Amino acid sequence: MTNIQVKKVSKYILWTYLVVVCLFTIGAYDKLFMKTESGVSRLVFYLPFVALAGGLLFFYTRLLQKNGEKGRRVIGAGFFETIHKYRFLIEQLVTRDFKIKYKRSVLGVFWSFLNPLLMMIVQYIVFSHLLNIRGGVAHYAIYLLCGIVMWNGFNDCSMQSMRSITGNSALITKVYVPKYIYPVTKVFSASVNVLLSMIPLLLVTLVYGLFSTPRLFLKPSVFLLPFGLLFLLVFCIGMGFLLSSLMVFFHDIEFLWTVLSTAWMYATPIIYSLSMFEGKEGVQWIVTLMKFNPLYHYISFVRTIILEGTSPAFSEYLICAAFSAAMFAIGITVFKKCQDKFILYL
């Protein structure tokens, strides 16, 4: 990378940090300004932390600019170099996927909004009116929609990225491109849809909230939604690495995964809620088990933001981040181990 490009990257890093801090401050303002028992607001801890992290980041960008001098390599410089180098390719592949998806449909991109909406109406009627599985959940329609949007996002990402290596075999055997580009771009193009489906989610919440009793209003906590999506995205990339590399060696994964993901869907409180199990004998293990279900944490993260209008507990951020990081680490390790063998099996 040239000097100007490094400066640009540094600028991006610092701006991203600023945006993250702003989003978090606005989104979690009620918790931040709230006074704890000892009578001091949490800002006392938060502000120095923000300043410290910012300072460290600034120091890091300085280091980046010195990368290569005296033969030293800064950690992460290689990562930014590959992103910089293949940014255009990723951009092109994502636009291709997006264009192809709706190319021959009349409503086009509009389907991204319409699909989750229609799905929600069907499931709402079935589960709320026919089967009556509300389980005493307030604002069940919104509760359901949050679950559906997040789950569909995950399902879409994992399905698409699973086929990313086998589906691009014609390219992989002809041109050299780092192979991790393929699962990553598939997750990106699927997550564009997740982003778009946030719009009907918020719109429905707005409209629904006006007519429901008790009223439900969107609070500034919606600014925390990007964090939930980011956790999900990283988790999906990890999952995509794992599934796509297994898929090369065993095509059975494709069939196995449809079964597994259906089982996983029913094991996640999307249509039901954990409060249904309260006070019932012999089912407490389900509640315990749920602590180990990453999707449960991502979905309740979003539900807390929208339904309770407040920031999730600090521990929830840590749990979600830990799941994402763990999945990413597992995925990339498996992928790195296998990627040189892909070509022999495609």
Partner 1 sequence: MAEEKNEVKLRIRDVSMRFRMEEDRAGSLKETFTKMFTKGLKFREFYALHDVSFDVYKGDVLGIIGRNGAGKSTILKIISGIMKPTKGSVERYGNIVPMLELGSGFDMDLSGRENIFLNGAILGYDKQFLKNKYNEIVEFSELHEFIEMPLRNYSSGMIMRLAFSIATVVEPEILIVDEILAVGDENFQKKSRARMMELMSGGTTVLFVSHDMNQIREMCNRVVWLDGGTVRLQGPTEIICDRYRI
Of 199 and 346, nearer to partner 1 (C-beta) is 346
In sequence order, the β-bridge partners of residue 41 are 35
Check: CB of residue 40 under 8 Å from CB of residue 49: no
In this structure, what token pair is assigned to residue 257?
């995964």
Among 86-94, 119-127, 270-278, 283-291, the segment contacting partner 1 (CB under 8 A): 86-94
Write out the two tokens for 234: 């990283």
Q: Which stretch binds partner 1 (CB under 8 A): 83-91, 223-231, 261-269, 302-310?
A: 83-91
Contact 238, 158 (CB under 8 A): no
For residue 344, state whether it binds partner 1 (rule: CB under 8 A). Answer: yes
Looking at the Cβ atoms of 48 and 178, the one nearer to partner 1 is 178
Q: How far apart are CA 257 and CA 264, in angstroms?
A: 10
Q: Give bridge partners of residue 35 from the DSSP assignment.
A: 41
Residues 28, 64, 93, 320: which binds partner 1 (CB under 8 A)?
93
Among 16, 82, 92, 105, binds partner 1 (CB under 8 A): 92
> What distance in Å separates the CA atoms of residue 135 and residue 276, rounded to the nearest whole number?
5
Instruction: Tell me the CA distances in angstroms from 277 to 146, 280, 287, 308, one per residue in order.
Output: 20, 6, 8, 21
**Which of 129, 170, 213, 292 is the binder for partner 1 (CB under 8 A)?**
170
Confirm if 97 and 185 have CB atoms less than 8 A apart. Answer: yes
Q: Is 184 in the site for partner 1 (CB under 8 A)?
A: no
Q: Select from 49, 79, 176, 285 the one that contacts partner 1 (CB under 8 A).
A: 176
Q: Is 12 in the site for partner 1 (CB under 8 A)?
A: no
Is the distance from CB of 75 to CB of 59 less than 8 angstroms? Answer: no
Q: Three-class SS string for 73-141?
A: CCCCHHHHHHHHHHHHHHHHHHHHHHHHHHCCCCCCCHHHHHHHHHHHHHHHHHHHHHCCCCCCCCCHH
Nearer of residues 256 and 329 to partner 1, judged by Cβ: 256
Does 4 interact with partner 1 (rule: CB under 8 A)?
A: no
Closest CB 251 distance from partner 1, rounded Å: 6
336 lines the binding site for partner 1 (CB under 8 A): no
Contacts to partner 1 from residues 266-325, by CB under 8 A: none
Query: In this chain, which of 89, 107, 125, 289 binds partner 1, going by CB under 8 A?
Result: 89
Is 103 a binding residue for partner 1 by CB under 8 A? The answer is yes
Q: Scanning residues 192 to 251, which ones bind partner 1 (CB under 8 A)?
A: 250-251
H/E stretch holding 261 reads helix 252-267
96 binds partner 1 (CB under 8 A): yes
Residues that bind partner 1 (CB under 8 A): 88-89, 91-93, 96, 99-100, 103-104, 170-177, 250-252, 256, 340, 343-344
